[in-house]
Amino acid sequence: MGYSGPAAPEPALTCLPDDWWDPAWQAVRSPGTTGPGRAIGEPGETAAPAAVTTRHGTPAPLPSWRRVLATTLGLWASRHLSWLRRPAGRLLAASALGAGLVAVAVGTAGLVLSPAPAARLVARPSPIPAPSGRTVRPASLTTVQRAARPVWLSVPAIGVRTRLVELGLNKNGTLQVPASTAVAGWYTGSPRPGMVGSAVIAGHVDSRAGPGIFFWLRTLRPGERVYVGRADGTMAVFTVTGVRTYAKDQFPTAAVYGSVPDAELRLITCGGVFDRSLGSYLSNVVVFARITG
């Protein structure tokens, strides 16, 4: 049978205002994520100059930078240095112009050949050892009426080990999120991990300082393990059955919070495209897992 306790609300998960996707420090993108482009007419954008055409209506070729430089220097010199009209002056000017062009060419070659600074990629964490401890076997779930509160979470495949804080609801009915991006939280309106029902644990994907505790959640695969430690020293072991990304306005509350016949776990974070105009991610990443130990 499913969770028979009080009917739990089905809150949506929001993100802290300092959650963002900043390509300045992070070059890794979630699957399907695209960076926002500048819209036409935004502040700071100027219109492109009209193309110059010939009398036949075809686009005229743009002058080379050498021609532009030579023309500019010639016009300036003709106005300010009358002595250049003499043959000796012209020779001296040509020599100076040649030296300037060589210097420009050397500088350009240096810029082209110099190595570009490496992007600051965030490497996927190395797997960590699975925790050891006393577990509650699934066969005994029918006799378990109350499990101890969860105090820590470990996801070895993505290098996560964190303490768990308790989360409730905001005044607007949305699910609270941890005050720190370095820890995850258990939603107290859901069953405790190991009891029959869908236990919910939430965490941040990133912040201005870098990746959050659930940054790599989207990369989990079915069959990988999730461990939840409890205050009485016991441990519940869950196996991932699926990873899904849902638009926030189409969040499947029944599938995430609804009744299930066994002990299951949901790990939730923000993900997908980050909308800078809203200051929020547009989707949620949800990991579904079922107890196996």
More confident residue, 85 or 201: 201
Q: 3-state class of 159 per DSSP?
A: coil
Q: Give, to the nearest 10 degrees, the angle between helix 87-113 and helix 65-80.
A: 140
Q: CA neighbours within 13 Å on the CB side: how many for 1?
A: 5
Sign of CA dihedral 269, 274, 275, 280: positive
Percent of the chain with pLDDT over 90: 39
pLDDT tens column, 32-90:
333 333 232 333 333 344 444 555 555 556 566 667 667 666 766 666 665 555 666 56
Q: Which CATH superfamily, name and number, covers 134-291?
A: Sortase (2.40.260.10)
For tokens 């105009």, what's the residue? 277
Report pTM. 0.62
Percent of the chain predicted with pLDDT > 70: 55
Tokens matching residue 81:
């240095």
For residue 190 the two structure tokens come to: 């859901």
> What is the average per-residue pLDDT within 16-41?
37
Assign 3-state DSSP to the chain and report helix, strand, coil percentages, each to 5: 25, 30, 50
Q: In whole angstroms, what is the distance from residue 226 CA to residue 289 CA?
A: 8
Per-residue pLDDT reduced to its tens digit, 96-125: 666 666 665 656 555 445 444 444 566 778
* Rounded Cα distance, 234 and 36, in Å: 46
Look up residue 71 and give its DSSP letter. H
